[in-house]
Amino acid sequence: AQKVTQAQTEISVVEKEDVTLDCVYETRDTTYYLFWYKQPPSGELVFLIRRNSFDEQNEISGRYSWNFQKSTSSFNFTITASQVVDSAVYFCALSEAWTNDYKLSFGAGTTVTVRA
């Protein structure tokens, strides 16, 4: 069963527009961790954020913000005032404590294209 769903395959925006990436997860565990990674055209996965299931505070880091809602099992990511350098594939991932190894289950990714 798919543990992480990123329903948006591709999003294209014009520079300075805001873009929100959706992530819905599924787990029976009460202790789990959620992550967002960015994969630019160079290919390397770059860590953006980690949240645990006990911390529902939203977070803002520069132009990036995250909205974690346990009630809807969602962990959405917003890029404000997008820039061309934000063009990349973004992955949401889930790590469950019961596995003891904390392996990541990734969503399929959302490709963001920011046009100048």
Q: Using CB under 8 A, list all residues that contact other proteins.
A: 31, 33, 35, 37, 42-47, 50, 52, 91, 95, 97, 99-109
Which CB sits closer to other proteins, 13 or 97?
A: 97
Which CB sits closer to other proteins, 76 or 95?
A: 95
DSSP code per residue over the chain: --SEE---SEEEEETT--EEE--EE--S-SSEEEEEEEE-TT---EEEEEEETT----EEETTEEEEEEGGGTEEEEEESS--GGG-EEEEEEEEEGGGSS---EE---EEEEEE-
Which CB sits closer to other proteins, 37 or 76?
A: 37
CB of 98 to other proteins, least distance (A): 12
